[in-house]
Chain A
Amino acid sequence: MTDLTSLTLAAARDGLRAKKFSSTELTQAFITAIDKANPALNAYVLPTPGHALAQAKASDALIAKNQARPLEGLPLGNKDLFATKGIRTTACSNILAEFKPTYESTVGQNLWNAGAVMLGKLNNDEFAMGSSNETSRFGPVTNPWRRKRNGAIDNTRLVPGGSSGGSSAAVAANLCLAATATDTGGSIRQPAALTGTVGIKPTYGRCSRWGIVAFASSLDQAGPIARTTRDAAIMLSHMASFDPKDSTSVDTPVPDYEAALQQGVKGLRIGIPREYRVDGMSREAQTSWDQGIAWLKAAGATIHDISLPHTKYALPAYYIVAPAECSSNLARYDGVRYGLRVAGKDLTETYENTRAKGFGKEVKRRVLIGTYVLSAGYYDAYYLKAQKVRTLIKRDFDLVWDKVDCVLTPTTPNPAFGFGEKSGDPLAMYLEDIFTVTVNMAGLPGISVPAGLSSEGTPIGLQLIGKPFDEATLFRAAQVIEDAAGHFPVPTKWWA
């Protein structure tokens, strides 16, 4: 029998329905793979094999009765930012200690209602603040990809991207069929690009934020990371929903994204924004971008040069808006209602001690920046200014939607980097999100799809940006790129 863990989600679904194998066998194969890989990769912060096998058994019973739901018996990983009822949820921060939610996130509940199996909780940057998964309380995640130098494998450990580094590494290393993830400035798309996987951040409001640990509420969105465009489409169809419990959830029907995949791009108008040709972009990112243009053109799309003039201001505006919102959201961690408490001589000192001990370095930095830009005398100069710039960033996109149907860019300026190479310099790390952050600022959908390998043999991703609620077009165009570029499985399972 072939290795069940290397199946795509779609193939596993078909295999289960044809009763070629059971969900219990499939789930057990992943549990065994996680046991072997996790000491080296650290993708899971809490494997839940007992929970998974119980769900798999229930799925097998339904499959036997021909009552399978759409994701029946399919094992997934769940980012530790999603609240899981009765199962520890920490956002990979010490301040949440051993927090066990008494409720399930809406996105998670949607997946379990569709029959999916949860293998465990996946690692991420603390409170999703980071681009390398180096800020987690549980330690960093290692990218299953390794660089080639002079034809030989270099053992330098590479980052899997962040903040959804556990999700991207687990999907790339075949430790789940697909995973949940979240994206505030690039946290789904950048890790997908660095691991040769597909990741989509849907339109703001498409997935409910209820039960997801909040970072920056006007930017946060959930989405999947998967091994193929089809798998990402299947996942998003079942993660998205209208949810009265999230006041920014949008009440529009969720399309069957999988049905759109084979529609191709004939006649589709693709925009190429000149402002994305930035200094510091690798030649390989440029080459793969040109290649992506050629592939879409060959498939019948038309290519149009466009301008998004405020692109360069998206990142600095983001680093005012996101910390401001995070400083407000993280005010709830006070040592009173849940999580860690470090006692002081009075209530204020208890707050100060608890938050000093519970938050990591990057989280403190962002809370302080956010507090500063919202404080009396600075609010107008920083926060209000950034929100005005945000209006202009969104307007840039609004003005091009008359001329193009979607926009093609690189996902990141460079392929995966080594541990510690950027963690000492906050600004160098922030630049990882230079191509992805505009999408969050404008609330648009964006997908990253693997497009090739660098000269070091590591993955490179291309990003497609779409109109609000037009994820279907992104899946169509991503499928064309995937068909042309091929798939990028990790070459060797060096950890097994």
Chain B
Amino acid sequence: MQIDEKTVRRVARLARINVTAAEAKSLQGELSGILDWVKMLDEVNTDGIEPMTSVEAMALRLREDKVTDGSIGPDITANAPMTEDNFFVVPKVVE
């Protein structure tokens, strides 16, 4: 499968990664190579096979519905690049 530059740019946009023209070019080849290689899986007959969701058959645990954590605003924002009064500061989203 040949991945073209337009596809690289579309996927990079979905992944929110800015790619330079040079990166887009080398990624075309690399992604095409990897996707060609994984197409080997088409040889495997998977008719009627359930996709794996968990390696061990286990039901998700439930816990009591009560507050076990909280009031740690300063901890949560401690590593943020920009904060104000325990809020994260981001560029304006709504005019």
Contacts and interface: CB of A to CB of B under 8 A. Distances in A.
A337 B80 contact: yes
Contacts of A340: 81
A351 B12 contact: no
A367 B37 CA distance: 17
A369 B30 CA distance: 10
Nearest to B93: A347
Nearest to B89: A336
A372 B81 CA distance: 30
Contacts of B77: 337
18 contacts: A99-B79, A205-B56, A341-B81, A343-B91, A346-B92, A347-B91, A347-B93, A350-B90, A355-B15, A367-B17, A368-B12, A369-B31, A385-B41, A388-B52, A392-B46, A442-B55, A443-B56, A468-B56
B60 A247 contact: yes
Contacts of A371: 11, 14-15
Interface of A: 99-100, 102-103, 203-205, 218, 244, 247-248, 250, 310, 312-313, 316-317, 319-320, 327, 331, 334-341, 343-353, 355-356, 359, 364-365, 367-369, 371-372, 375, 382, 384-392, 394, 426-427, 442-443, 468
A227 B46 CA distance: 42
A332 B48 CA distance: 35
B37 A427 contact: yes
A350 B15 contact: no
Contacts, number: 159
A384 B51 contact: yes
Interface string B1-21: 001000110011111111100
Contacts of A244: 61, 63
Nearest to B72: A102
Contact of A348 (B16, B42, B53, B78): B16
Given A386-B41, A468-B56, A391 B11 contact: no
Nearest to B17: A355
Nearest to B15: A371
Contacts of A368: 8, 11-12, 15, 17, 27, 31
Given A347-B93, A371-B15, A386-B38, 11 more contacts: A334-B16, A337-B77, A343-B91, A344-B91, A346-B93, A350-B90, A355-B17, A368-B12, A369-B35, A387-B51, A427-B33
Contacts of A388: 44, 46, 49-52
A347 B56 CA distance: 40
Contact of B30 (A359, A365, A384): A365
B71 interface: no
A382 B17 CA distance: 22
A346 B11 contact: no
A354 to B, nearest CB: 8
Contacts of A316: 37-38, 40-41
A338 B79 contact: yes
Contact of A385 (B8, B16, B46, B93): B46
B48 to A, nearest CB: 9
Contacts of A338: 79-81
B11 A372 contact: yes
B65 interface: no
Interface string B55-87: 110101101000000001001111111100000
A313 B77 CA distance: 43
